[in-house]
């Protein structure tokens, strides 16, 4: 089944909770058809949302997501690489399994899906890729040792700029949002006070802060290669 004439389509990863669920709702509000994927996602109960359950680190999941988008809507306009894993611990405490997990979701997930989506984004003449990274890539913090995040999400920041330039003359924009610590199910309530203190503004961010940033980038045709920090001032200093 093809999409309604002119209806745009967004593919969103890590879509079952937190920022991802907020992004699904936001893109639906913009009138987009949505293909939403995560390991635990269920049926959306909305004919304009197709859900695909799978591990984004697996190339087969990327293949199924792209096929689902084309089968249901016939096009892809935007890809939001939101799925990610964040593990903070001293460098020598990381395990081989944690390395595989972080590189699998953060890097392989980005690579497999973005590579498969790009030909379809090019076909629309105005495609858009947005990746969620972390502010810690640009401002390491001794209170939050997180080399695996820097190793993987830092790669995504660089790839964002590289892809933006590679495709700048071909109608595809590529941007990233670099959040501070956001109130999501990932962070237990008892940690909130300590996490709030990591931000110069003295509080954590809300899911809506990140969603609003992505929506801004979606509507900004002259913005590409941008790493938009939504981090309560962390990027400016402490």
Q: How confident is the model at residue 69 (pLDDT cuts 50, 70, 90)?
A: very high
Burial 147-162 (b: 16+ CB within 10 A, else e): bbbbbbbbbbbebbbe
Specify whether domain 9-230 bears CATH 3.40.50.1220: no
Residue 56, pLDDT > 70, answer yes
pLDDT digits (tens, 9 = 90+) for 73-108: 999 999 999 999 999 999 999 999 999 999 999 999
* Domain locations in the chain as residue ranges: 9-230
Percent of the chain residues topping a pLDDT of 90? 92
Report CA-CA distances (Å) from 96 to 24, 40, 136, 220: 33, 24, 22, 40
Query: How far is Cα 100 from Cα 79, in angstroms, rounded to an integer?
Result: 24
Q: What is the mean pLDDT of the chain?
A: 95
Provide the sign of the torsion angle of the four alpha carbons 230, 234, 237, 238, taken in this order: positive
Residue 187, pLDDT > 90, answer no
């Amino acid at each position: 089944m093809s999409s309604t004439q002119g209806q745009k389509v967004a593919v969103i990863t890590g879509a079952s909770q937190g920022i991802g669920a907020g992004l699904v709702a936001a893109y639906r509000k913009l009138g987009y058809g949505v293909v939403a994927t995560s390991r635990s996602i269920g049926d959306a109960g909305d004919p304009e949302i197709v859900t695909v359950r799978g591990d984004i680190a697996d190339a087969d999941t990327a293949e199924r997501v792209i096929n689902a988008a084309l089968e249901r809507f016939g096009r892809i306009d935007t890809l939001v690489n939101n799925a990610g894993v964040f593990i903070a611990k001293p460098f020598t405490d990381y395990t081989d399994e944690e390395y595989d997990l972080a590189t699998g979701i953060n890097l392989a997930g980005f690579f497999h899906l973005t590579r498969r989506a790009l030909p379809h984004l090019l076909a629309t003449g105005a495609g858009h890729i947005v990746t969620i990274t972390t502010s810690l890539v640009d401002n390491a913090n001794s209170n939050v040792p997180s080399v695996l995040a820097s190793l993987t999400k830092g790669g995504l920041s660089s790839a964002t700029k590289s892809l933006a330039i590679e495709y700048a003359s071909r109608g595809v924009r590529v941007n990233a949002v670099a959040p501070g610590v956001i109130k999501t199910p990932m962070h237990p309530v008892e940690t909130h006070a300590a996490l709030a203190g990591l931000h110069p503004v003295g509080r954590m961010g809300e899911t809506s802060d990140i969603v609003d940033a992505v929506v801004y980038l979606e509507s900004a045709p002259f913005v590409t290669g941008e790493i938009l920090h939504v981090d309560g001032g962390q990027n400016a200093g402490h």
